[in-house]
């Protein structure tokens, strides 16, 4: 018997990726139902050569029986409909930020803390895309050596802002006079050090997500994290420059061996051969790529990393479906 799966926000960028990944990872599905707002309800969406009609999202349909409901429709939708689905006994995997910092709701990257899902039912939060790829790279270091401090600068693709942002970049690359509507500045041939709203302390909401979500996933609030989030004119794939101060002096080759043997990470670190990760190559894949690993010139306990991943896949849709897979594996293990 296969699974009964629903996708809320099925016509959006992340929802479409979820459909693609459900197919590519051969998730056994008995029935797939797709939900969206009135604007998209009634549309036909193809999955596995079958046309599926998108249903109108209502509280009543969320009370029906599903094995998993994948939410990809934003925090305002999740706030209203995810609790209804969970109260009806459904497992909800939510890609929005709404539940991430709620104490009793697990925030999960399966390779790192998937064990906390054992016996759990209810809402599960998917981390922010920039957080996910960073913790994939630093979690093995924290486990082995301990981390004192992280300084991270992100270089984030426009697909993180949805279809309208993708179209805006395309148009601005063709026409320098095309106006900016999605961003505060033109993104074509530019970079913008502003993702989400600014907090009173000068950090943006996106940057603070990286701080508090990392603390929750790694279960360590003592790690000092200083992020700067930047939007760049790339369509798919986020990149990050990550500086990590560890609790002990380490050997670079040992770090490379550790990360290269970690599930979900691909090591590309032969810079003298021009081998290092870039978002163009990472796009369309489900791995986190790490390269440019080097020890700090002045601090023997510090290293720098270059981390790249597809923000719509490992940063969102793939991680959500890996949560589903992890829960199914836990069931099989008893």
Residues, the chain: 334
3-state secondary structure of 16: helix
pLDDT attached to residue 249: 96
Q: How many angstroms separate the CA atoms of 197 and 213, rounded?
A: 17
CATH classification of the domain holding 291: 3.30.360.10
Token code pair at residue 49: 């050569």
Q: Same structural domain for residues 107 and 212?
A: no
pLDDT in tens, 120-179: 999 999 999 999 999 999 999 999 999 999 999 999 999 999 999 999 999 999 999 999
Closest C-alpha to 266, from 290, 240, 283, 242? 290
Q: Same structural domain for residues 248 and 288?
A: yes
**Helix boundaries (H) for 32-179:** 59-62, 75-87, 110-113, 129-144, 163-174
The neighbour count for residue 48, using CB atoms within 10 Å, is: 10
Q: How many angstroms separate the CA atoms of 322 and 114, rounded?
A: 9
Percent share of the chain, pLDDT over 90: 98
C-alpha distances in angstroms, 243 versus 37, 60, 154, 296? 42, 48, 12, 9
pLDDT attached to residue 298: 97
pLDDT in tens, 208-218: 999 999 999 99
CATH classification of the domain holding 33: 3.40.50.720
Closest C-alpha to 316, from 41, 5, 16? 16
Cβ neighbors of 236 (< 8 A, separation 6 or more) are: 157, 159, 279, 283, 284, 310, 311, 312
Q: What would the 3-class secondary structure string for 197-228 be?
A: CECCCCCEHHHHHHHHHHHHHHCCCCCEEEEE
Q: Same structural domain for residues 157 and 134?
A: yes
Q: Same structural domain for residues 101 and 155?
A: no
Q: How many angstroms separate the CA atoms of 319 and 18, rounded?
A: 10
Q: How many angstroms separate the CA atoms of 240 and 127, rounded?
A: 16
Q: How many angstroms separate the CA atoms of 85 and 65, rounded?
A: 9
3-state secondary structure of 193: coil
pLDDT attached to residue 1: 75
Task: Determine contact, residues 277/268, Cβ cutoff 8 Å.
Answer: yes
Phi, psi dihedral angles at 4 (to 5 degrees): -100, 115
pLDDT for residue 76 is more than 80: yes
Domain that holds residue 238: 130-311
pLDDT classification of 333: cutoffs 50, 70, 90: confident
Q: Same structural domain for residues 162 and 234?
A: yes
3-state secondary structure of 264: coil
- Residue 238 annotated in active site: yes
Q: Same structural domain for residues 188 and 225?
A: yes
Q: Same structural domain for residues 156 and 180?
A: yes
Q: Same structural domain for residues 140 and 110?
A: no
Q: How many angstroms separate the CA atoms of 46 and 51, rounded?
A: 4
- Residue 129 annotated in active site: yes
Q: Same structural domain for residues 116 and 262?
A: no
Q: Same structural domain for residues 177 and 110?
A: no
Q: Indicate yes or no: pTM above 0.95.
A: yes
Q: Same structural domain for residues 262 and 215?
A: yes
Q: Same structural domain for residues 119 and 25?
A: yes
Give how many domains the chain has, as a whole number.
Answer: 2
pLDDT in tens, 112-127: 999 999 999 999 999 9
Sign (positive or negative) of CA dihedral 190, 206, 96, 285: positive
pLDDT in tens, 82-102: 999 999 999 999 999 999 999
The active-site residue, picked from 98, 115, 129, 194, is: 129
Task: Determine contact, residues 57/37, Cβ cutoff 8 Å.
Answer: yes
């Amino acid at each position: 018997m296969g699974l009964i799966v629903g996708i809320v926000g099925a016509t959006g960028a992340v929802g479409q990726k979820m459909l693609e990944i459900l197919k590519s990872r051969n998730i056994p599905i008995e029935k797939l139902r797709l939900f969206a707002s009135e604007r998209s309800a009634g549309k036909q969406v193809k999955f596995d050569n079958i046309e599926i009609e998108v249903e109108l999202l209502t509280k009543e349909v969320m009370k029906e029986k599903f094995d998993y409901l994948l939410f990809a429709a934003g925090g305002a939708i999740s706030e209203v409909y995810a609790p209804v689905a969970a109260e009806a006994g459904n497992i909800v995997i939510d890609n929005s930020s709404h539940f991430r910092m709620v104490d009793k709701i697990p925030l999960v990257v399966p390779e790192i803390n998937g064990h906390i899902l054992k016996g759990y039912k209810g809402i599960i939060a998917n981390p922010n895309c920039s957080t996910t790829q960073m913790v994939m790279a630093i979690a093995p270091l924290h486990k082995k050596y301990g981390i004192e401090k992280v300084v991270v600068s992100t270089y984030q693709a426009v697909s993180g802002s949805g279809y309208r942002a993708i179209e805006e970049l395309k148009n601005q690359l063709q026409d320098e006079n095309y106006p900016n509507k999605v961003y505060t500045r033109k993104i074509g041939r530019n970079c913008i050090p502003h993702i989400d709203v600014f907090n009173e302390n000068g950090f943006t909401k996106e940057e603070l997500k990286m701080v508090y979500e990392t603390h929750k996933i790694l279960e360590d609030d003592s790690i000092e994290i200083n992020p700067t989030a930047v939007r760049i004119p790339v369509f798919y794939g986020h990149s990050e420059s990550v500086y990590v101060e560890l609790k002990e002096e380490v050997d670079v080759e040992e770090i490379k061996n550790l990360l290269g043997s970690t599930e979900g990470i691909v090591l590309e670190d032969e810079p003298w051969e021009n081998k290092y990760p870039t978002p163009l190559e990472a796009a369309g894949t489900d791995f986190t790529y790490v390269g440019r690993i080097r020890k700090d010139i002045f601090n023997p306990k510090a290293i720098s990393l270059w981390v790249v991943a597809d923000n719509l896949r490992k940063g969102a849709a793939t991680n959500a479906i890996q949560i589903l897979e992890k829960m199914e594996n836990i069931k099989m293990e008893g």
